[in-house]
Amino acid sequence: MKKIKYIAVLFAATIMASSCDFLNDEPQGILSDEQVRGPAQVEGLVTAAYSSLGNDHYDKPFSLWPYGNVRSDDAYKGGNDENDISAFHFYEIAQNIKTDFGEADGLWFYCYKAISRTNTALSVLKTVSTNDVPLRDIRMGEMYFLRGHFYFILKTVFGRIPFVDEDLPIDEYDKVDNKLPNDEQWAWIVSDFQKAYDLLPDKQDQQGRANKIAAAAYLAKANLYKAYRQDDRNNVTEINHTDLEEVLKYTDKVLNSGYGLEYDFAYNFLPGAYQNGKESLFAVQYSIDDGTMFGRLNWGDVLSVPMGVGCCDFHKPSQNLVNAYKTDKTGLPMFDSFDNTNYDSNSNSADPRLFHTVAMPGFPYKYNKDLIYEEGWNRNPTVYGYYASLKENVDPSCDCFVNVAPFYGNSKNRIIIRYADAILMRAEALIELGRPNEALPLINQIRERAQRSTDMIDYAPKLSMSLYQPGVNCAWSTNFARQALRWERRLEFAMEGSRFFDLVRWGITDQVVNSFFKTESSRRPFLKSGNFTKNKNEYIPIPQQQINFVNGIYKQNYGW
């Protein structure tokens, strides 16, 4: 936080310097207070805040693949070996985690830098009128939305975080602690999305700008997380029904908007004309040929490209995840026995989403039948196996695939929140409110779309997928519905950075992750040292550097 204060103070000092009549010369490259805070600067400040969405780095990714996927049962770290970005390996096995890891400190800093940009824009927007800036209220809504987004990232990763807003003086930043109770922290984030919802229009003229429907979806998501109340030791103590009703209220807004599910699951993860489709409620807008050196590329995900087409083979789907896509003879998930044997395309039937999510030897890579994924594309199969992640990657023949040696980036949008999430959030709220029958058609809606998502994977063998039919292939009780919902979230959003946070919200992380370590270690020996400690590993520690910057006023997470 103090780093942010230093940036702001230096900026202010630069402004003050412009008022000095030094040798009667107009200082060059320095903006006056009027120039920075006037109406003409508003759009530039808003654009700077938006640009933060793409200002991450391969070891500080906003996609959160090391924190939301690798820490769960969905993925391995990958790379050369355990020592390749060793901090991510330690997060993966939940051991030897230090409070001074630079990767975590960098993520914290990048997020608060983004938040400082939204606060700067908001403070200026508050000083102008709608006569001067006709879109003032809309731009304020966009800034509240972005600020809520970055606070959401910080909250899910770090647990206890400090909150600063546009009304707080710069010299007060390092006096703000992180000791608000968990539900009050979520209430702060809910408030940002509520402000965004109240100010934003249903539609925006420019792609990539937040609108009311995106705010409604994020408002529902923040309320869903808030509903699972946690104590100071990260135990889930209750599921608050008032918060769940808010989830229903705002998912209703999304489901009755002009958005909807893409016809084919694949369309969410393709470049070009597929981007900003009807399922994309809000996405990071990447680009090429935009006047910058490399273009606005997905720097946070460049490491996941397989070695056969680029570098560096990180973010590898686990065998456990692949096995989870197996279906039984009725076309339903194999809840209890899915992991007894490894998936075999010759003998096991599978959910079609497997072939949209995981690259497997012998099958086309990213739907290109002239480019078959090979075992030799894997950097260290002895340690990390033979699978690769597909969703964030593109067909190398695409002009959106850019060589930024030694890496390869791409300019395909990354969806932050999509329509399918609103459907399943609503289903989850209904189940926890004791209304599982109302959740059934919502879950089946997601499964039906998955069922028909086969046009681009006509090479995939033995696809089998059924809807839930109470009394025919299942007994639809509250407990069964909860199991079905949680399974559906895993398969639908696998490798998208949310699995671990779902487990924490449900209060079952220790059970799932330790079971994963026990079974998966026979396949991947490096996991034998894995052990998830309940009431500690739900969140990574607050970076010690940040605690030092504020002279110790931050409270470290429990157990660290």
SS3 for 39-68, per residue? HHHHHHHHHHHHHHHHCCECCECCCCHHHH
Contact indicator for 541, 560 with CB cutoff of 8 Å: yes
On average, the pLDDT of the chain sits at 94
In a domain, 234, yes or no: yes
Q: What whole-number distance in Å separates Cα of residue 55 and Cα of residue 110?
A: 8
How many domains in the chain? 1
Q: Does residue 369 or residue 291 have the better pLDDT?
A: 369
Q: Is the pLDDT of residue 37 over 80?
A: no
Q: What whole-number distance in Å separates Cα of residue 135 and Cα of residue 455?
A: 43
3-state class (DSSP) for residue 287: strand
Q: Is the pLDDT of residue 433 over 70?
A: yes
| Mean pLDDT value across residues 272-285 | 97
CATH number where 511 lies? 1.25.40.390
Residue 431 CA, distance from chain mean position? 24
Q: Is the pLDDT of residue 14 over 70?
A: no
| Mean pLDDT value across residues 341-348 | 98
Contact indicator for 247, 220 with CB cutoff of 8 Å: yes
Q: Is the pLDDT of residue 15 over 90?
A: no
In this prediction the pTM is 0.94
Q: Is the pLDDT of residue 292 over 90?
A: no
pLDDT score for 35:
54
DSSP, res 529? G
**Per-residue pLDDT tens over the stretch 469-522:** 999 999 999 999 999 999 999 999 999 999 999 999 999 999 999 999 999 999
DSSP, res 455? G
**Per-residue pLDDT tens over the stretch 54-86:** 999 999 999 999 999 999 999 999 999 999 999
- Lowest mean pLDDT of 280-294, 296-310, 332-346, 427-441, name the range: 280-294
In a domain, 97, yes or no: yes
Question: How large is the C-alpha radius of gyration of the chain?
Answer: 24
Q: What whole-number distance in Å separates Cα of residue 489 and Cα of residue 496?
A: 11
The DSSP line for 58-105 is TTB-TT-IIIIITTTTSEEEESSSTTTTHHHHHHHHT-S--TT-HHHH
In a domain, 71, yes or no: yes
In a domain, 74, yes or no: yes
**Per-residue pLDDT tens over the stretch 437-463:** 999 999 999 999 999 999 999 999 999
In a domain, 464, yes or no: no
Find all residues with CB under 8 Å of 153, minimum gap 6, and list them. Answer: 62, 64, 111
Q: Is the pLDDT of residue 367 over 60?
A: yes
Domain assignment of residue 124, given as a range: 2-258+498-549
Q: How confident is the model at residue 25 (pLDDT cuts 50, 70, 90)?
A: very low
| Mean pLDDT value across residues 114-143 | 97
Percent of the chain scoring above 90 in pLDDT: 91
pLDDT score for 34:
54
In a domain, 190, yes or no: yes
pLDDT score for 439:
98
Q: How confident is the model at residue 291 (pLDDT cuts 50, 70, 90)?
A: confident
In a domain, 251, yes or no: yes
End-to-end CA distance of the chain: 20
Q: Is 12 exposed, middle or buried (0-12, 13-18, 19+ CB in 10 A)?
A: middle
Q: Is the pLDDT of residue 29 over 50?
A: no
In a domain, 226, yes or no: yes
Contact indicator for 385, 316 with CB cutoff of 8 Å: yes
pLDDT score for 22:
29
Nearest partner of 330 among 356, 351, 358, 357, judged by Cα:
351
pLDDT score for 352:
98
